[in-house]
Amino acid sequence: MEYILEIMPALLDGAVMTLKVFIFTLLGSIPLGILVAFALQTNFKPLQWLINIYIWLMRGTPLLLQLIFVFYGLPLIGIVFERYDAALFAFILNYAAYFAEIFRGGIQSIPEGQYEAAKVLRLTKFQTVTKIILPQVVKVVLPSIGNEVINLVKDTSLIYVLGLGDLLRAGKIAMSRDVSLLPLVLVGIIYLLLTAVLTLASKKLEKHYQYYK
């Protein structure tokens, strides 16, 4: 217990960095994913083509490779990011692509009659999207969004390759220094607690949106 209390501050500091990347990635990637999903519904073929290429690249290459490319590769052509900014940039672009595909599926599940009813009511396109389409889409995609959010918590461990002091890096440093597996066990417990909280929050949100049934 004495050893746990000794290393816990460093692990909690790492957990703060993990949570920062997690929260700001969600704040950036979900709105961007929604915009990309609606952009895919347009009839402008060049835009659709560009978006599909972007989604293909983000989903078809490992996030670890994208992190390395942003931080170590882009400086070769004069684009330089700080470590934290590089992590956020790569994470937001990656997860926005996944969220875009999830929201695209949700948008396509809405019957055409909903749009026709909105026209009859003389709603603007913005009102149609915000008042009619999005609330229904959110209800449809919540389980998939919940899964991606939980994956994001675990994927934040990849930022150690950029030298950021996240939870996993703090645990590895303590393990190497003290030649003990206990730090990694504690890291695993913290990740499990985070995913448990997010799972409960996701289920509560799903229950809240059951009123659409």
Band (70; pLDDT cuts 50, 70, 90): very high
pLDDT (tens digit, 9 = 90+) per residue, 120-146?
888 888 888 888 888 888 888 888 898
pLDDT (tens digit, 9 = 90+) per residue, 192-206?
999 999 999 888 887
Extract the tokens encoding 198: 């997010």
- Is the pLDDT at 30 greater than 80? The verdict is yes
- Is the pLDDT at 156 greater than 80? The verdict is yes
- Specify the pLDDT at position 127: 84
Cα 115 from Cα 107, distance rounded (Å): 11
Task: Please calculate the CA angle 16-22-26 and round it to the nearest 5 degrees.
Answer: 145
DSSP calls for the chain: -HHHHHHHHHHHHHHHHHHHHHHHHHHHHHHHHHHHHHHTTSS-HHHHHHHHHHHHHHHHS-HHHHHHIIIIIGGGGT----HHHHHHHHHHHHHHHHHHHHHHHHHHTS-HHHHHHHHHTT--HHHIIIIIIHHHHHHHHHHHHHHHHHHHHHHGGGGGGGT---HHHHHHHHHHHHT-SHHHHHHHHHHHHHHHHHHHHHHHHHHHGGGG-
Band (67; pLDDT cuts 50, 70, 90): very high
Cα 93 from Cα 86, distance rounded (Å): 11
Q: Specify whether the CB–CB gap between 49 and 180 falls below 8 A.
A: no
- Specify the pLDDT at position 10: 86
- Specify the pLDDT at position 61: 94
Q: Kindly report the pTM of this predicted structure.
A: 0.87
- Is the pLDDT at 212 greater than 60? The verdict is no
Band (9; pLDDT cuts 50, 70, 90): confident
- Is the pLDDT at 32 greater than 90? The verdict is yes
Average pLDDT over residues 170-181: 83
CATH numbers and ranges of domains, the chain: 1-209 (1.10.3720.10)
CA distances from 112 to 18, 60, 70, 107, 163 (A): 42, 31, 41, 10, 49
Cα 40 from Cα 97, distance rounded (Å): 12
- Is the pLDDT at 174 greater than 70? The verdict is yes
- Specify the pLDDT at position 211: 58
Q: Specify whether the CB–CB gap between 14 and 166 falls below 8 A.
A: yes
Mean pLDDT, rounded, of the chain: 88
